[in-house]
Amino acid sequence: MAGRFDHVVAVVTGGGQGIGRAIALRLASEGADLAIVDINLDSAEQVAGEVAQLGRRAQVVRADVSKRGDCERMVEQIVDGLGRLDVVFCNAGVAQAKPIFEISEKDWDLMFAVNTRGVFFTLQAAARQMLRQERFRPGGPRGKIINTASIAGRYGGGPSAPILIHYRASKAAVISITQSAAMALAPDITVNAICPGIVETDMWKTIDEQWSYAEGWEQGEAWRRRIAPIPMGRAETPDDVAGVAAFLASADSDYMTGQSLNIEGGLVMS
């Protein structure tokens, strides 16, 4: 699908690692110019270098998406540097595994500040800019926003529920924001979400360490137990997520909005 995103400017928050990096490189490989947004400038610059090696323009923006002012400044900088923004992935996120009685106010507030408030204020700032722009493709929307939720926001049961309460609640809120924003911004802007499962990233390494410690298991045991029941027989990779993300960014999804797509190897079937 080389050239599918020619002349498209895409933004990925949390683009310096994991799922965000995979999405950025997938879109760049199909022609998009990229703004890599991350709180870690070094990792963002590394990914931007990979984008440039694919022959696409790359801009790096350092931002803390939990701050509304940073989100607004981020959009201004990207428009100044790349001219517009057409597709925005609200992907920045954090995770933490803690037993219910050990979760503090600080833990709760950080989870919602990044995972939920960060998604909303990135979406808000991006949508304002998109509504001021001409459509980037005749007959298409003025822009596309894709939020990173999780299958953890889908249901309350499962083996990780007792240890990921605040994380799961924050991702359920992202699904709700996706639906409400899709209604508010239709028909000019589509808003959808991706719901990954057990993805082999540094975030899941952290979850495994914290979960295994809380249960008194050897490190790696939480990961093994979580991937064992996956019908597809393996852990998910960031590239598995990036393929579906590219579909949501493309013209093929122009008539979709308010949807949250599971990408999890069959753990959650609906």
Q: Catalytic: 167?
A: yes
CA–centroid distance for 42 within its chain: 19
155, 167, 213, 255: the catalytic one is 167
Q: Which neighbouring-strand residues pair with 262?
A: 195
Active site residues: 167
